Structure 1
Amino acid sequence: MQDDLLVVGFDLETRREVHVAERPPEQWKRLGYGGTGQLVCFYCFHGFEAAVGTRVPLVTRGRLGGKVRRHFAHPAGHAPLGGHSPETVWHITTKHTLAAWATSRPGVDRVRLEQWTPDHDRRADVEVLLQDGTKVALEAQRQLMTDDGWRARHRDYARQGIVDVWFWRPRVHFPHIVLDEGLPVWFYSVSQRMAATSLGRAHARTDQWWKTPDLSVFGLHHPPCRLDELERVTLPLGALGLGAGGATLPEDLRKRLLESQREAQQEAKQRQASEARHARALRESRERAARAPAPTPLPPAPPGSLRCEVCHRPLDPLLAKNRRHILC
């Protein structure tokens, strides 16, 4: 099922967004179309492609394990003309899903939707305050952004000490400047309720590769570099962590990356140690030469005597043709 076919529910009694997987279909049937009517379309009620406050009770379709996943839908003839915008569906649902995910993460003190930054330059889709005081902005980005547009938003957040984490709609091209800034790229599928990201494959080991400041790039690494070959991974949103650096990979995947990087890091240490031993031996040799006493000057040679052109000692006339001692 594609994201643009989904409808998110809104419970008029609890005044909150609801998802079809939260309750058995029998309960939703009692609350939706043909029942009490308190389960309505979130988008219609909040004024997307309909007047604000429009109440359209929902039906539940599909079945668990079936070809069509269980989902909410408008009753026949009750949907807005042309349906809801796919971008609207994805953005609103992802924003609320990210807020619910952040609330469930350990170390989170507060989560709020649609909050302005202190200088009122930017409004985060989801503002998260961690218990250590770190502020995190979660952005659900449904459309392509230019490099300059994304960089301006990212640097505004950074200037105010806010960590920005971007989740992109699947199949939307993201600005590659994101990777240049050292940030991972996350995608979120509303229909599958799954997050995705890419790992960078190991870089080729070029000349003196062991002197590279970040040796992790010689194994699987995250985030990837701009020109890397990529390995895509998909995982439940709930498997991701959230900390002072933003969203984090689950422990088993982090271990896989560390294991992939370990061999290169060990070889680099061996090469660095070998270079250090060579440099130390050369330095000690030069120091010994500097401390050695000056050689005793040779006595002056009699006029007309032969000298070895190498050691400058007297040379037997038999060796005059070669102009040096046999061993010189």
Structure 2
Amino acid sequence: MVALDLACGQYVCVPTDPADPRTQELRDKSIAGDRSLVCALCYAERGCSVPVVVRSHVGGQRRPHFAHPSGWAPPAGRHNPETIWHLTSKTMLATWARTQPSVIDARTEVWLPNHERRADVRIVFADEREVAIEVQGCPLTDTEWINRHHDYQHNGVVDIWLWHPASQPHRIVLSDPDHQQQLWSFDPDQRSVTLMVGAPHRPLWPTPPDQDDIVHRVPHLPPCMHDALIPHQYSLDDLTLTPHGIAIPAALQDSLAAELTRIQQNPNTQTPAARSQPK
């Protein structure tokens, strides 16, 4: 569950470390304190201010979390799973972004200057460059994604798209040759990000020997539009945000480069089997 701090209008997650001193600050705002920290989902779905309980114990069996007070849960006993995923994801990503190098501001639900688009998470770097993170759970048509992407481009904002882990890959994001996108998904329950790598393949149509597209005969980024996909999962805390987007982990870059070098030196060798089952 995500909480909303009514005093500053910001969404909040419980620190993952029970010993984090911020936990006591949250307790002071919870039902045990001034009650300014409320369930963000109850607030969004029902318009009611339900103060949260902060459950975080050093050595506890469960990870730190917010809970409803007894008897204050929503009528059905739980919130909409899609709402939970979306709200938890953008809150967690904003908190993570604030820890990244040169980031001076990271907020949720921020409009572009002309109000044509509202970013789930808007990040500003010290050099004034901006990045928007979109956490998308519902399917989009190709036209809807292209329009949103172009709105960000028009405003000089780099857009990063993180999809629900159960959704089908929206390959339309691979269509812009000038602003390279990757296929990312996000699981807030695991605090993990998955990057899809294109599986090796031969050219889709015959090419002269001197024009063999050797780059695609090994796992590659970004994937081609019709590639089988190999998932690579990372902890969110192991990733780095830059003004150009989420940086590809160095270990993966080195691995892909090594496989490309090997096949360039020995073009007739077989590409080793992928370490993960392609999707």
Query: Which range, TM-score by smaller chain?
Result: 0.7 to 0.9
Q: Offset at 1:212? A: 5.4
- Other-structure match for 2:168: 173
Q: How does 1:140-155 map to 2 (within 5 A)?
A: 140-155=135-150
* 1:31-65 CA distance string (max 9 Å, x none): 588844648443156x223334x133325389968
- Describe the SS at the equivalent of 1:77: coil
Q: How does 1:1-328 map to 2 (within 5 A)?
A: 7-10=1-4, 17-19=12-14, 21-24=16-19, 35-36=32-33, 38=35, 40-43=37-40, 47-52=43-48, 54-58=49-53, 60=55, 69-82=63-76, 83-181=78-176, 182-204=180-202, 207-208=207-208, 211=211, 215-266=214-265
Structure 1 unmatched ranges of 5 or more = 1-6, 269-328
- Describe the SS at the equivalent of 2:46: coil
- Other-structure match for 1:311: none
Structure-2 separation of matches of 1:138 and 1:177: 17
Q: Offset at 1:157? A: 1.6
Is the 2:186–2:194 contact (alpha carbons within 8 Å) kept by the matching residues of 1?
Answer: yes
Q: Offset at 1:20? A: 5.0
Please report the TM-score for the alignment, with normalisation by the length of structure 2.
Answer: 0.77
- Describe the SS at the equivalent of 1:220: coil
Structure-2 separation of matches of 1:20 and 1:244: 26
Structure-2 separation of matches of 1:63 and 1:102: 26
Structure-2 separation of matches of 1:237 and 1:200: 21
Structure 2 unmatched ranges of 5 or more = 268-279
Q: Offset at 1:198? A: 0.9
Q: Offset at 1:265? A: 3.8
Is the 2:197–2:230 contact (alpha carbons within 8 Å) kept by the matching residues of 1?
Answer: yes
Distance 1:146 1:59, change over 3 A: same
- Greater RCO, CA 8 A, separation 6+: 2
Q: Which one is further off, 10-19 or 131-140?
A: 10-19
Structure-1 separation of matches of 2:172 and 2:263: 27
* 1:238-274 CA distance string (max 9 Å, x none): 2222223211222112211211222234457xxxxxx
Residue 71 of structure 1 aligns to which amino acid in structure 2?
Answer: H
- Describe the SS at the equivalent of 1:104: coil
Q: Offset at 1:232? A: 0.6
| Higher alpha-carbon Rg | 1
RMSD: 3.3
Q: Offset at 1:159? A: 2.7
